[in-house]
Each structure stands twice: as structure tokens, then as C-alpha cells.
Amino acid sequence: MAKVKVRIPATTANMGPGFDTLGMALKLYNEIEVEEIDTQTEIYNNNLKSEENFKDNLIYKSITETMDKQKYPHRGFKINVIKCDIPISRGLGSSSACIVGGIAAANEIMGSKMNLEDIIDLATKIEGHPDNVVPATLGGMVISLKVGEEIKYSKVTVPNKLKFVAMIPSFQVNTALSRKVLPDTYLKEDCIFNISRSAMLISALYNGEFDKLRICFGDKVHQPYRKNLIKNSDAVFKESRELGSIGEFISGSGSTLMAVLDKNADEFMKSMKKFLDKLEDNWNIILLEPDLEGVKIAS
């Protein structure tokens, strides 16, 4: 019976004006171990058996959907989440990590029948949109879009100098609610606003024009509506600017807030932690870099 270990990175998506299209993998990881067994599926968290119904588990669903699509016979699995550093329902791609990890594990067990495009297409089908699953699969910063049922993507080079500070509150933002608060229609000038910022963001990153990044992370499609679901978001972004951040955005649909730095990371982290500790909710702060490998079969 085959046994495989998989490491999957966290992701940040939307990234300002790049709603449902722009995402980046981060050096924050979950690791899962999947083993074929002849009995009913069992779910473990760090070797402790979970009471969760395995049929509701997203890793299990992704494994079985992958194998069913490839007509690979299966019975049961021992699924062990041996490392879970990606916070759940905080806008850092925890569900995408489950999906991509499950597909990658299944593919390895089957003898690597699927190529990257197959994995990306299936992951997008399960997740519903590509902006998290594509960077989780490929690593790095990626623009991704759907053309019919096919996913097209292009990687973006992120300057090594840039660091990303994730500020993660103790409360979640409901994904369904975060979609519901968005308007059904937008003014033409708001669409132009986002198109211009998205285009310049990619160019500014490519050219190392860090002075333009704050303008480029501007958005009128989702952040003005979602920030109201994240307590103290305006105050956190204001403090980030005052402490030297060169850009800020909501990670995914929240509740994590992201600040972009090009220098003085240690000073920023110390000062921001003091500020966050004064807020009513508990906030965690993590300094991150882009992950360039994507999902990886661990040795």
C-alpha cells in the first residue's frame, strides 16, 4: 500500500486590485501524510484520531475525486495532518492547501498520471476559482484566469527585497458573507481604477518601482466592502503606513491583513506587535516571504 507525505504552502489572494485573479504562495506550510488502507478512511491530526466524519474532510474529497477522475480503484485512506501552520478561515488559503494537497497525494499514489495543468484544472473545479490553488500548486506570484473550462496562468517575478507581514486576528470572516457584501454592478470609473492598478502593479514589481506599490494595491471592487467585516482594519492599515509599509491589502476575503515591506522588517514587527496587542481581539503577526516551490512531495 502506497504512503506519501505532501507539503503545501499558504497563499494570499486578490492582493489589492487583483480580485479572483492574483495570488501568491507564502513560506507558511501544512503537511499531510496519506496512506492507502483496506479499511474505512481514518482522519488524524498530528497522529491523534479525529472525530470528524471523513466524508466531510476536504482532503479526502480531493483525493477521491482525483482518483475517480482517473478511474483508479480505491477503498480507504489514513489521512494524517502532521503540520497545520496555515490558520483556518483567515484568508491564507487553508482550503486550497487541503485541495491541492489531496490532489498531489492522490497523483503520487497513482504513479503521477496527472501533469501540472491537470492538477490545476481539477483544483480549480473543486475550489471554484484559481487565484489560491494555482500559486499553491506552482509557487510564487501568479496571475490566473479561466477561459471556458481551461485555466491560463502567468508567473510574476517578485523582487527578493520584498517581505510580507501577515496580521492575523482571532476572529474569522465568513466566506459566503464576504461575497454577499460585494455589489452586483460597478461604476465604469471603478472598473478603470482596478484595471489600471492591476496593470501597474505587475509593471512596478517587474521594474522594482517600490514607490508606486501603495497606489497599485488600491482597489474599488472588494476591499472597500470587506474591510467593514474586519474590526480595526483601517487602524491597522494606518499604523502599517506610519511604520513604513509600502503597501497594504486584505488577504483573500480576510480576516488577515497584509503589509508589504522593503526594509526595516525587524523594527516594523516589534512596533506593530505592540500596536496589535492593544486591540480588543488577539492578533498574531508573521513575517513571510514568497514560496517559490509550490506543493511538494516530501521525502
Residues at the binding site for ATP are 87-97
CA distances (Å), 58 to each of 118, 139, 298, in order?
19, 21, 20
Query: Which residues line the annotated binding site?
Result: 87-97
117 has which bridge partners?
A: none
C-alpha span between 118 and 98 (Å, rounded) = 17
Do residues 255 and 173 make contact, with C-beta atoms less than 8 angstroms apart? yes
- Residues contacting 274, CB < 8 A, separation 6+: none
Q: How far apart are CA 63 and CA 60, in angstroms?
A: 5
CA atoms within a 13 Å half-sphere pointing along the CA-CB vector of 215: 14
Q: Which helix (H) or strand (E) holds 269?
A: helix 265-277
Cα→Cα distances 154→96, 131, 198, 291, Å: 19, 11, 14, 16
Q: What's the CA gap between 44 and 299, in Å, rounded?
A: 20
Task: Report the distance separating Cα 182 and Cα 96, nearest Å.
Answer: 22
